Structure 1
């Protein structure tokens, strides 16, 4: 990341947040930027723009369609995609283990996924982690600050959901397209379970290597993420990392999360 790329991505995020707010109108409570761009770990061509919109009430069909069209047509600048979540204010203010979600639109340029849309999801098990990360390290681009609209989330819910994904990934260590995501997110899951901190990807990887320098996949993923997108990540190393994190995250974590922001490098 350079100051120029960071500034350009922030400008794109700000413009996009304003366009979202124009669509949703007066029901917007907050548009929160979180993820790598908010945490100082943005990598042009590798990182998404992560936005969480908190609204009063629900989204009419016309607004859902307009937001999807906006995401599909948006100029991403140097970002690799957009990850947009919309949640009702009462849900953000009192998170549950399986909260409802108004809308998720993910656009992942250059991947096999393309664009995915989920609307009016009755139970979204990954949303608590999203809320917790936005509360801990997000910044409001429009409206109220994260701590004013998102209540603390139970850390054991986040740990359990992280372990769910670790077990799934353990069966897909040959997925070269998703390897860097699996490895770096596993590091983030591990650090959160131990320290209660939501870390940027690069910081979490360095933390994991400090815990166990033998984790070759972590060094390889960090190199691919920060230096060479074509660098390989060994399948055996991925399996070793996932087994390590599953073992190290087996004990319960603290009751709530979101009170501390991760430091960045």
Structure 2
């Protein structure tokens, strides 16, 4: 489990987020976990979102998630990061490996994120949540309650690979994603396929650049852009980004085939 400290710029915000979550959920709250870039030690202020997973017991009243969304939405709780992406899971679901979304609430809020609240796990593609839980199980940082590996099961590798395939397709389409983020998430996908571990974006780019000289100029530019605030991200050559993501898709397909066995039809 990650021992990465919370960045000082986020401490007061996360303390208040935990305080409000405890006040709203009461005895039904099991855990509050920092995941994503915070847990991987790659949070970039002005660029990264704050990713939080909340786990609650099965007796949580139905009216509680909407109350929690109102308590945590920006600017009711002023988010100092680019945004907050917070997902609430029932404990029974989170404790079992699954390829489904399975959430009770998905909240996106903050100065640079479009406001979104969903209470229906069928409204969003499942792959985001599978990947987030996989990262959480590996490196999640406990902010309150039971430790991450007591409450978040690791999704099966086959489900993670299926989710990666869907993620790469989405990034290839490009909608709503900066070019550098598309490239760096592609690097993380390749590294997971090769190692079974999640790396921070910058570390993953270094891993890929070490063996793929042809992509080094693109990866160098993506990393340079990643150092800038989200609204000031650099444009990257569309052809090079597309070529790289096509290469990433091929590596994911190879990993799926290796997992399933030769000749297995693609899902």
Give yes or no for TM over 0.5: yes
Question: What residue number does 1:208 align with?
Answer: 208
Residue 48 of structure 1: how far off its partner (Å): 0.9
Contact preservation (8 Å) 2:109, 2:115: yes
Q: How does 1:86-235 map to 2 (within 5 A)?
A: 86-111=88-113, 114-122=114-122, 124-172=126-174, 178-215=178-215, 216-227=217-228, 229-235=232-238
Deviation digits for residues 9-38 of structure 1, max 9, x if unmatched? 133223212211221111111101111122
Contact preservation (8 Å) 1:18, 1:142: no
The alignment covers a number of residue pairs equal to: 248
Residue 133 of structure 1: how far off its partner (Å): 0.9
TM-score of the two chains, using structure 1 as the length reference: 0.84
Contact preservation (8 Å) 1:13, 1:49: no
SS at match of 2:213: coil
- 1:252 equivalent to 2:255? Answer yes
Residue 71 of structure 1: how far off its partner (Å): 2.1
Contact preservation (8 Å) 1:54, 1:87: yes
CA distance in 2, matches of 1:169, 1:190: 14
Normalized per residue, which structure has more helix? Answer: 2
Residue 115 of structure 1: how far off its partner (Å): 1.0
SS at match of 2:126: coil
TM-score of the two chains, using structure 2 as the length reference: 0.84
Question: What residue number does 2:15 align with?
Answer: 14
- Which stretch of structure 1 is more off in the superposition, 234-243 or 66-75? 66-75
Contact preservation (8 Å) 1:166, 1:246: yes
- 1:237 equivalent to 2:236? Answer no
